[in-house]
Amino acid sequence: MAFRLVLFNILLLSSTSLAQVVGAATGFAKGVTGGGSATPAYPADIKELRSWLTDSTPRVIMLKKEYNFIGSQGTVTATGCRPSSNTCPDSGGQDAINGADWCTRYGHPDIAVTYDKAGTTFIDVKSNKSIVGKGSSGVIRGIGLRIANGASNIIIQNVHITELNPQYIWGGDAITLAGSDLVWIDHCKFSLIGRQMVVTGYAKAGRVTISNNEFDGKTSWSATCNGDHYWTMLFLGSSDLITLAGNYIHDCSGRAPKVLYNIIQLPHFKKIGGEGSANVLIHAVNNYFNSIGGHAFDLGTGGMALIEGNVFESVTTTITTTSVSAGGRIFNAYASSDSNTCTASLGRACVQNTVSGSGLWKAYTTSSFLTKFSGKDVQAAAAVSGVKSNVKSNSGVGHIGN
């Protein structure tokens, strides 16, 4: 029981819990209040849900049914492409919509694509909102959420976001953060997403905690032709602070997560705002990575990752070998002697990771960036021995009372 309190922070009887929100955020987004003490309310349909999410009123929005946006904006038939990665077009490959001129830039062969328009759009969530699913019934199907342009203080808890044109690259992103702050994404599930499950854009995403979620990569349309979703998490904002804790990340083949700031390393994007001195700091702690048929961590310039107390099981590539040469900085608590390296900056020792049935796992010992944790809200780390069982039994939807 003590382990669960440390790892998952589910304070069911706490007097500090917000209305209908279970527990409180820890890590970088500590202090987020969302809709606060606003009276919980249940939107009648997709129109009312969109209206409540996009207005300026603090709200606690309860979801106890499915809100299906598929077909709400019609379908689009356009010229897309067949990327070279799709070596199995007739048996589970993923073609592409020409998002951000991606097909044109890479010169992939043209094909006709038909997709649901809503999935390629988003709902712009405004500040001071709590979006909370009830039991396992709160589902948003066919559209993603964007928190951007100064929006802040938002909680998304116990919600399943699914079916955003999963057959197509650029089919849609589940949650987008760009120009935001204080966002807590907790006990959610992501499945059948066309592109990123969670992505931070060029603008600062601010303080973010992503905790106790299930990133379910099982798909019938795989960019890598192995039944695993490739586009899992992409963190490329300016000065992002991201806590990734207690998540179940499985059946993915890449970007689980990808962390960088220098977006010129993503050639299908235009360089914006110069190099600057911005960075992405991620604290990955007590997550369970399982059945990853490609890579988990992939870093580039400006990406910094403290990786501790995680379980890697059947992961082909735990950390890409190019992460450091591409400019990333990593400390992964490889040996017991590394544990005290964190003490000065985190106020506690690091926790070693465990790796089994996986590819190369070696020491990454760059630790100078750990000073960036000083004075910030740092996620606690539980003993790695209980991570797998507790993550599997508590991550995703339907595991909290509300």
pTM: 0.94
> For residue 218, what are the β-bridge partners?
228
CA distance 282 to 200: 12
- Is residue 27 a part of any domain in this protein? yes
Please give the pLDDT value at position 237: 80
* pLDDT confidence of residue 278: 54
The C-alpha atoms of residue 25 and residue 28 are separated, in whole angstroms, by 8
Structure confidence at residue 210 (pLDDT): 99
DSSP secondary structure string for all residues of 335-396: SGGGGGGGHHHHSS-----EEES-S-----B--GGGGGGTTS-------GGGHHHHHHHHSS
Residue 107, Ramachandran bin (φ over 0: left; ψ between -120 and 50: alpha; else beta):
left
- 4 given a catalytic annotation: no
What's the domain count of the chain? 1
Could you tell me which of 78, 125, 127, 133 has the C-alpha nearest to residue 102? Answer: 78
Return d(Cα 20, Cα 62) in angstroms, integer: 8
For the chain, the residue count is 402
**pLDDT reported for residue 10:** 36
Residue 327 sits in a domain whose CATH number is 2.160.20.10
Whether 363 is in a domain gets the answer yes
* Any domain includes 399: no
Q: What is the pLDDT of residue 2?
A: 44
Determine how many CB atoms are found less than 10 A away from the CB of residue 208: 29
Q: Which ranges constitute the DSSP H helices of 243-346?
A: 343-346
Q: Tell me the one-letter amino acid at 400.
A: I
Active-site residue, selected from the candidate residues 59, 82, 195, 255: 255
Coil, strand or helix: which one is 46? helix
The answer to whether residue 141 sits within a structural domain is: yes
Burial class of residue 71 (count of CB atoms within 10 Å of its CB; 0-12, 13-18, 19+): exposed
Domain that holds residue 269: 2-394
Please check whether residue 252 lies inside any domain of the structure. yes
For residue 306, tell me if it sits in a domain: yes
Per-block average pLDDT, block size 10, for the chain (402 residues)?
45 55 98 97 98 98 98 98 96 96 94 98 98 98 98 98 98 97 98 97 93 98 97 91 98 96 54 53 98 97 96 98 94 93 95 98 96 96 97 97 81
- Token digits of residue 154: 């938002």
Judge whether 336 lies within some domain.
Answer: yes
Residue 402 lies in a domain: no
Backbone dihedral region for residue 323 (phi beyond 0: left; psi -120 to 50: alpha; all else: beta): alpha
